[in-house]
A and B are shown apart, each in its own frame.
Chain A
Amino acid sequence: MTAARAEVIGEKSPGPVIIATDREGRRHRVEAVPGKSLMLTLKYEGRLEIEAACGGNCECATCHVYVDDEWLDRLPAQREEEMELLDGLLYAKPNSRLTCQIPVEASLDGLSLTLAPPE
């Protein structure tokens, strides 16, 4: 009963929407659930090809994306672990982020990002 009720409530008040561009340049509209990580949201809600080999432990850098510049300052600051991992990538850019380190919040509605190439 509780689960069914929650679903109905969810339909009435949809979560934030993420706009994700995949590696073939296709744009996806992903309805996100606040509280989950952005990595889980893209992988499971968006069914996008995000390996996330370490399962969200900030160890593997396989959930790497480029965030649209206007969103960079609106995301939670990087911890040192994330900076170290990005520093080890060949395709990191100033707008790189690891999505396992970003929890989805209502304020991320409209966040636009592009999946980075695997490496």
Chain B
Amino acid sequence: VIRLRRTEVTETVAAYQLDRSKIVDIDLASLELKQNFRTVLPEWAKRPPFYVIVDGQPQVIIGRYEDAREIFLDTERFTNVVPKAPGFEKFDKFMGVRTLAQMDGEAHSRVRRLMTPAFSPRSLAGFEAQFKRAIDVLLDGIEADGVEFEAMSRYASVLIHETLMLEMVGLSREQKDVFLEMHRQIPKTTYTKPGEPFPAECVAAFDAATEMIHSIIAERRANPGRDLVSALIQARDEGDRLSDKELFDQTFTVCAAALAGTTTGAGATLYGMYRHPDQLEEVQRDRGLVPQAIEECLRWAGTAGYVTFARFAVEDLVLGGTEIYAGMPVRISPQATSFDETRFPDPQRFDIHRNPKEILAFGLGAHHCLGHRLARMTLRIALERLLDRYPKAGLVEPDFVPRYVGAVGELRIAELPMRLY
């Protein structure tokens, strides 16, 4: 996992006067790190905040649960807003779109408040039957093609297309495909070096999605429906409403966040459950266990990745014994916090009876995932429908070890061969 780059480290230590003993020489973009997260991250979970050097800049990695909690809840000393300074362009993941995750303070509260009702338990309950039907259509398609199927491409990564994009946002199949192309291109931007342009195919896919969202907004404004975009258009807060730019940015955010998050989450759920047939059988017998079983899958199987989007220190401070300087990017590792034995004893053991509370897969604090209920509901229905319709389903190879792919920080299972019977 460790790739030595001694010259770069020496220069950075001198420039920032870092405590050398707190530097871990690791390449955050390496596929080896993704593949070996089960051995690397439990070690991060024991370590005080440490530095990694990325493109000559230090970043702080947070692996311990309590340190992560402190940062998530401290909006005074940490901001999600990317500094407008040279070298920080790479943190602007979505090429100029101002996502909810990159706002803070009043601006964030206002937009979040306008979006919240669409993701409330009451609003989501109204979609339950529709989601179930949409997921059944997916399963019909899988069954029509035979006994074995590749569960990431045929199920995990397309669940949210059917539920959120088609049913909730109300996209046509063609519009959905434009989004999917953008979703395929986005990870490449996280591997783009500072100063380098984003790859041409990323820019083209992004432009196509931009054009599509603008046309959807115009169409829904003229003919409002019961969908999410119409709800956002009509959202009012004492006369306040989302501007066209905000509508665009947040429609984009919802679709992009949902695509990435639920794909990894569904992969984690399927792998976690079907890799443990004894516990799966308990869940099959007692469906009341489904929600806590899903929480354990989200905790155990890499859902929120090995590092999140950066936050930035707004002042010089010391956290968990490590000095963090103003402007420094701070990256929480949600998966490392899930392996913190002080919070989750014997953390690498998968146990649905653990009923883990307050996992950080959806973050915590003001930026806690707006769509967490939608995600959990989609995963629940997806698992329940599989259990209902195919009680003998399983992994093709019972001891299957997945390969992990995705953007920097993500732990997305590449393939998961399953069988229905």
Contacts and interface: CB of A to CB of B under 8 A. Distances in A.
B215 interface: no
Nearest to B118: A88
Given A51-B357, A84-B116, A59 B366 contact: yes
Contacts of B3: none
Nearest to B74: A55
Given A51-B357, A53-B372, A88 B117 contact: yes
Nearest to A118: B291
Given A53-B364, A55-B368, A59-B368, A89 B122 contact: yes
Contact of A60 (B123, B238, B358, B368): B368
A49 B357 contact: yes
Nearest to B366: A57
B364 A90 contact: no
Interface in B278-336: none
Q: By DSSP majority rule, is chain A's interface helix, strand, loop, or mixed?
A: loop
A88 B365 contact: no
Contacts of A53: 358, 362, 364, 368, 372
A53 B360 CA distance: 9
B125 A90 contact: yes
Interface string B88-118: 0000000000000000000001001100110
A81 B72 CA distance: 22
Q: By DSSP majority rule, is chain B's interface helix, strand, loop, or mixed?
A: helix
Contacts of B121: 88-90, 119
B363 to A, nearest CB: 8
B120 interface: yes
B368 A89 contact: no
Contacts of B72: 55
Given A49-B357, A90-B125, A119-B121, A85 B116 contact: yes
A55 B113 contact: no
A57 B357 contact: no
B136 to A, nearest CB: 24
B364 A81 contact: no
Interface string B60-79: 00000000000011000000
Interface in B331-371: 357-358, 362, 364-366, 368
A49 B358 CA distance: 10
B14 to A, nearest CB: 38
A106 interface: no
B117 A84 contact: yes
Interface string A52-87: 011101011100000000000000000011001101
21 contacts: A49-B357, A51-B358, A53-B358, A53-B364, A53-B368, A54-B365, A55-B365, A57-B109, A59-B109, A59-B112, A59-B368, A60-B368, A61-B120, A81-B113, A85-B120, A87-B117, A88-B120, A88-B121, A88-B122, A88-B123, A119-B121
